[in-house]
């Protein structure tokens, strides 16, 4: 049986066979038979744009299931749209392909995209497939709509606000640690491979969150970004950081501190005034996404992790970067 590039058709045939069907619900994509896509936000709305790339050996392993690689490439972008209060509508994809992926790999990759398109209601609108002598990479530009002026910024946290985070923190970091040690904790590995963009929660935070972002560099590092641009200080209570049972089992007493500086969570971290606490609780309930109150915004700068007696906990590094 042919494998790798030998069994792949040329670029145009590949696009027609595999990628064009992913565009069928987007009239402005012209079935990928033109050079560009066309898009117009509905009246009173703006377009929100995000570009993020995932690279073999950096963000995923060559041996990961191809559908998981595809979904991660898409979801790391959707996660940003969610945290900004936007609803996704489409994406462009540049796929840099070495010789080794064969048609079975590519079909599984496309099936992963198709599943997420159906789950999240968006379409492939265009892209580029290029050979590369290097690592496989997937660069996605995702687009969504928000009501004009309603995008939730990083800058906006106010002294006195509470700090919240969705879901559980540190699972992806735990999953990566497990993979590196050739161990198996499926629920943590799944969280590393296929993050969950909080698309039901994000739009509910419009007009409620004063600042918001998705946690990709690590909880403390990303809250540090909010603190920097909002010109405030953020205190996080280590004991309040929401942790999965699997992560507590893996990391024991260190779990909260390690989770706070792990990357790739793709949860939403946000701030909101104390008088909106009930609204946050309601948004969590309606969206089906757990939200935990983990700290507060105070005067000053930077971000600090506190133990149960209010003492600062040293963290090894303030975040994870893929750089």
Site string for a second copy, 242-281 (x = CB under 8 A): ----------------------------------------
Residue 207 in tokens: 């007009």
Q: How far is the CB of 10 from a second copy (least distance, A)?
A: 6
* Residue 81 binds a second copy, judged by CB under 8 A: yes
Neighbours of 238 (CB within 10 A): 19
For a second copy, the binding residues in 110-149 under the rule CB under 8 A are 125-135, 137, 139, 141, 143, 146, 148
For a second copy, the binding residues in 144-173 under the rule CB under 8 A are 146, 148, 151, 153-155
Residue 323 in tokens: 């750089």
Q: How far is the CB of 248 from a second copy (least distance, A)?
A: 29
Candidates 17-25, 36-44, 176-184, 187-195: pick the segment binding a second copy (CB under 8 A).
Answer: 36-44
Question: Nearer to a second copy by C-beta: 237 or 265?
Answer: 265
Residue 156, CA distances (Å) to 90, 213, 265 in order: 28, 11, 22
Neighbours of 281 (CB within 10 A): 13
Candidates 17-25, 79-87, 104-112, 174-182: pick the segment binding a second copy (CB under 8 A).
Answer: 79-87
Three-state secondary structure string covering 211-278 = EEEECCCCHHHHHHHHHHHHCCEEEEEHHHCCCCHHHHHHHHHHHHHHHHCCCCCCCEEEEECHHHHH
* DSSP single-letter state for residue 312: B
Residues that bind a second copy (CB under 8 A): 10-12, 14, 28, 30, 33-41, 45-59, 80-81, 83-84, 86, 92-94, 96-98, 125-135, 137, 139, 141, 143, 146, 148, 151, 153-155, 213-214, 229, 321-323
């Amino acid at each position: 049986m042919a494998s790798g590039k030998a069994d792949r058709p040329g670029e145009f045939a590949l696009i027609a066979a595999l990628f064009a069907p992913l565009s069928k619900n987007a009239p402005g994509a012209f079935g990928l038979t033109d050079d560009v896509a066309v898009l117009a936000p509905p009246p009173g709305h703006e377009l929100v744009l995000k570009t993020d790339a995932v690279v073999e050996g950096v963000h995923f392993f060559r041996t990961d299931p191809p559908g998981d690689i595809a979904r991660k490439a898409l979801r790391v972008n959707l996660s940003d749209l969610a945290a900004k209060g936007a609803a996704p509508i489409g994406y462009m994809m540049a796929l840099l392909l070495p010789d080794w992926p064969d048609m079975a790999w590519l079909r599984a990759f496309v099936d992963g995209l198709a599943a997420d398109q159906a789950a999240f209601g968006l379409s492939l609108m265009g892209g580029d497939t290029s050979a590369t002598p290097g690592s496989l990479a997937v660069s996605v530009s995702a687009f969504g709509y928000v009501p004009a002026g309603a995008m939730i910024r990083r800058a906006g946290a106010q002294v006195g606000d509470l700090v919240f985070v969705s879901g559980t923190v540190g699972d992806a970091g735990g999953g990566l640690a497990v993979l590196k040690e050739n161990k198996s904790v499926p629920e943590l590995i799944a969280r590393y491979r296929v993050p969950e963009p909080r698309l039901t929660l994000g739009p509910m935070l419009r007009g409620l969150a004063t600042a918001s972002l998705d946690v990709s560099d690590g909880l403390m590092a990303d809250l540090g970004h909010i603190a920097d641009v909002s010109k405030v200080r953020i205190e996080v209570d280590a004991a309040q950081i929401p942790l999965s049972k699997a992560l507590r089992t893996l990391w024991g007493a260190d779990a909260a501190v390690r989770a706070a500086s792990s990357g790739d969570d793709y949860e939403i971290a946000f701030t909101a005034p104390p008088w909106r606490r009930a609204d946050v609780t309601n948004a969590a309930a309606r969206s089906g996404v757990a939200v935990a109150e983990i700290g507060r915004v105070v005067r000053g700068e930077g971000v600090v992790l506190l133990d149960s007696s209010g003492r600062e906990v040293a963290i090894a590094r303030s975040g994870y970067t893929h750089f």
